Structure 1
């Protein structure tokens, strides 16, 4: 990923892009605009297919015909041509005569691309993910998550039951952490903290990144025991295991007592308000008076303007019953748990850093 631009510049560019999109929508009859909105799911499935069948990888070496792509991917030549033609219309490919080539957008789908979004595309396009989104009307009526209605078990139980989907999910989460990290590192200084505790830190990717920019710090990872071997391996490969302590347990029940900085990345948005307060209250009981808490979350803008957080909020409703929140809502949660919100640090990605300190 290239160096992130300054936040004010990124926000100005987003406002311009949003204004142009709004202007485009107003230039067509409302009926046509509705059709365009409703057919956007086709772009999702075309992108997934291009990635899933290996067509994007087949184009990685340069322009090729549909027949050549089909021969390498093992797909039907005519159907492949039709897929490539559609993906060109979505800006993933260019076309010159009978040859197709990847655009910068399309190259992000290639397996070996440094900034590959392939894991995220494979998660979002997976039928098991899409089926739950098909339950959005029912979720709006009931106000409850729908993964169990579709799969017979909760989202977390589904990941335990189907290892292949768990692998897809874990790869996507790893990629999204890596996508956020450069923008987080550019916006927040981790060097003042001696002990960094990653609460619910999964495979340790975030903790490894923090320790990479804070070479004097030590790290503590709190995670379910089943995930600790994976985290140990990742932290060893990152060269920081010698500065780490791994603690098995649930953040509902316990937390390390010796942190200077406690970090939760996209943990609180998985939880409803009562669950979130329970986790934060447990954390407060173990947080030293001078420590800092940082929640890395998408923060819903107060003006209701376009933001990825509002779509992600529906994802949380559907899959786990969680929610995205405004700054004021985070302040209220933190206050109930014994913390005081000190600031919200925006980044140029979809994540912000909600910083708080314990009330003494």
Structure 2
């Protein structure tokens, strides 16, 4: 065996290390351990008892994280390191990519063989997506709302996930009401003025949009990362009708989508391009979602009789790729109903 084999082995195993570590960090959050030790050093046995965990296994899991420098473990005492504490704001990315899509990546070969779409955990995808949106899509939609002629009286969030995105928008004013529509929507809302409907977006809009009525000028419809789902599952015609129907019932429609540029070296050389968008692009090849280019969406909006009021991108301090794009739409004058 040559002298360099071990070094090459170490390098070759770094993706495996990353795979295990992503799982470990996700379960640090999802197990409740992170919250228990976030306040300061704790007894492993006491924390395990509170969470109804096996103490020896909990200690072994925490030892693994200690070796990766996310916690310190001294005897029976565990605490977060500075590196571990710094993870807190990024929990939603782990909920989305590891919690929501872990099973997706396990099905790559089956999908390549044409055995249908890969599955995902829709509930965790919704939770992760809504959590991430607090940093990117939610401020982006607020900027789009600043381009409205007047503040909306109501917001209809098509594809609302766990509802936190909509609750965040409604809670900004205290006077705006909201309707969240999603197959995985909560059964009840803890926020005043917000209610949820468990339904697919296209069915809901088809039932609720009156072609003979004038659009409600005080209502905003929202489709954040929704059109990509409808496009793959129901086809381009269904997306056109969804946009058209949303603008039949509401004065404006806010859309957030991701520009599809996986072959663009400028994107793939970007740090966030490789850390986030490269796996994000891959999972969209595998699941019932279809990303498209900005040109595609703009042509589709035009076909649906929509006029673009404004276009904005995410704050570059959060994401400087410019790939996450928001559009504020209204009906073209004389557009067919």
TM-score range, shorter chain: 0.5 to 0.7
Whether 1:353 aligns to 2:320 is no
Matched, 1:323 2:283: no
1:25 is aligned to none
Shift of 1:210: 2.5
Q: Indicate the residue corresponding to 2:166 in structure 1.
A: 207
After superposition, residues 53-92 of structure 1 pair within 5 angstroms as 53-64=31-42, 66=44, 69-70=47-48, 72-92=50-70
Alpha-carbon distance change, 261 to 105 in structure 1, aligned in 2, over 3 angstroms: farther
- Confirm whether residue 240 of structure 1 aligns to residue 193 of structure 2: yes
Render the CA deviation track for 1:178-224: whole Å, top value 9, x for unaligned.
454663366444463434433333565433332333566x5453636
Could you tell me which runs of 5 or more consecutive residues in structure 1 were left unpaired when the two chains were aligned: 1-28, 148-154, 160-165
Residue pairs, 1:108-147, within 5 angstroms: 117=91, 121=94, 125=98, 130-142=102-114, 144-147=116-119
How far, CA to CA, are the matches of 1:81 and 1:272 in structure 2? 46
Which of 300, 304, 322 is residue 267 of structure 2 equivalent to?
A: 304
Determine helix, strand or coil for the equivalent of 1:211.
helix
1:264 to partner: Cα distance: 0.8
SS in structure 2 at match of 1:261: strand
Matched, 1:280 2:252: no
1:62-86 C-alpha deviation (Å, 9 max, x unpaired): 2246556555555455543442232
The question of whether the paired residues in 1 share the 8 Å contact of 2:42 and 2:79 is answered with yes
Separation in structure 2 between the aligned mates of residue 75 and residue 249 of structure 1, nearest angstrom: 38
Query: CA 1:88/1:187 → structure 2, altered by over 3 Å: closer, same or farther?
Result: farther
Instruction: Give the drift of 1:229.
Output: 5.2
Measured in 2, the distance between the counterparts of 1:340 and 1:37 equals: 46
Go from structure 1 to structure 2 and tell me whether the alpha carbon gap of 1:143 and 1:329 turns closer, same or farther (over 3 Å shift). Answer: farther
Structure 1 residues 239-267: Cα deviation after superposition (integer angstroms, max 9, x where no partner): 335xx898977425255432453311221
| Cα gap change, 1:138 to 1:278, in 2 (>3 Å) | same
Once the two structures are superposed, what CA deviation does each residue of 1:7-52 show, in whole Å capped at 9, x if it has no partner? xxxxxxxxxxxxxxxxxxxxxx776544212431101221234345
- Residue 131 of structure 2 corresponds to 175
Map of 1:35 onto structure 2: 13
- Report the equivalent of 1:48: 26
Offset at residue 135 of structure 1 (A): 0.5
Change (3 A) 1:292 1:182: closer
Give 1:194's match in structure 2, choosing from 149, 152, 167.
Answer: 152
CA distance in 1, matches of 2:184, 2:52: 38
Relative distance call for 1:207 and 1:78 in structure 2 (3 A) is closer
- Give runs of aligned pairs for residues 87-102 of structure 1, distance below 5 A: 87-94=65-72, 99-102=77-80
Where does the alignment leave 5 or more consecutive residues of structure 2 unmatched? 1-6, 210-214
Counterpart of 2:223 in 1: which secondary structure? Answer: strand
Q: Secondary structure at the match of 1:280?
A: helix
- Normalised by the length of structure 2, the TM-score is 0.67
Deviations, residues 72-104 of structure 1 (Å, cap 9, x unaligned): 555455543442232134443245687431135
Which structure has more helix as a fraction of its residues? 1
Question: Counterpart in 1 of 2:222?
Answer: 263
Let me know the Cα RMSD of the aligned residues. Answer: 4.4
TM-score, normalised to structure 1, is: 0.63
Hey, what does 2:181 align to over in structure 1?
223
